[in-house]
Amino acid sequence: MAIGIGVNAWVWTAPVTTDSMHLMKKAAKMGFDYFEIPVEDPANLDANKVKAAIDESGIKAIVCGAFGPTRDLTHEDPKYRQESLDYIRATVKLAEKWGSKVIAGPAYSAVGKRRQVSPEQKKIEWDLAVKGLREAGKMAADHGVTLALEPLNRFETDLINTCAQCLKLVKEVDSKGVGIHLDTFHMHIEETCVSSAVKLAGKRLVHCHACENDRGAPGTGQVHWKEWAKALKEIKYDGAVVIESFTPECKSIAAAAAIWRPLAKTQDSLARDGLKFLKKLLK
């Protein structure tokens, strides 16, 4: 099965709402196989209208999670751990309705939670993540969905930065509803070898984000794309590769992702150029 190429709605807009779904037609017309829908707030997305937009465009949907400060399975306050599980439950139901087999993102903790903590505190938070993900993984599996856990770079989390750490977590959770999601932007910062990381993930790799080292269009920067693509083929990866980038015009997401300048002449050109590069690379 060939690798399908997708694009995240954040390339053009944020926050993503039902009104953003017109972008599906744009993505389909460009030639993308998948459209990734970030569920920042389930209440902002009318499940039935989004499903109708998917059907009308003919593109396949993938769901991407958004894990802010109150969605944190490692939080010391149980109310925030419960909020995270409630959010995952709602998002799993949307993914099932829209035909998405994965929910991508760092579901184990809140983005931006980075501190120097003692080994004892780290163990407490690790165990909370394992416990929460076991429950979340069962939710996901019951709906035919896999939580694709994404290692983030050191500036965005202190818990899971590398594929090796993510693999350890996934093995400990031991759920068919939990797998690995690798993003080339984070890999470029944290992995010593992108191909080794992909091979280490192996059959547990269920989702990929493709982004340059500066968050720009794939193929315009320093990421080791040939080695990455070769490794994907060696493990017979058949999931999606999704371009995830952002625009400084959308202030909320730009602040969260530290996007202070345009990454391409236009967001359309970022998507088109990235698609062209990935198609040639992954053929």
Q: Which two tokens stand for residue 135?
A: 């429950």
Which tens digits make up the pLDDT trace of 43-60? 999 999 999 999 999 999
Q: Which two tokens stand for residue 277?
A: 């590069």
Q: How far apart are the first and last CA of the chain?
A: 11
Residues with catalytic function? 150, 244
pLDDT of res. 1: 53
pLDDT of res. 106: 98
Domains of the chain: 4-282 (3.20.20.150)
d(CA 271, CA 33): 13
Which phi and psi (to 5°) does residue 219 adopt?
100, 0
pLDDT of res. 254: 79
- Mapped to the 3 state alphabet, what secondary structure does 35-83 carry? EEEEECCHHHCCHHHHHHHHHHHCCEEEEEECCCCCCCCCCCCHHHHHH
Q: Which of 210, 184, 209, 187 is nearest to 273 (CA)?
A: 210
**What is the model's pTM?**
0.96
Distance, C-alpha 142 to centroid of its chain: 21
pLDDT of res. 175: 98
Q: Which residues of the chain have pLDDT under 70?
A: 1
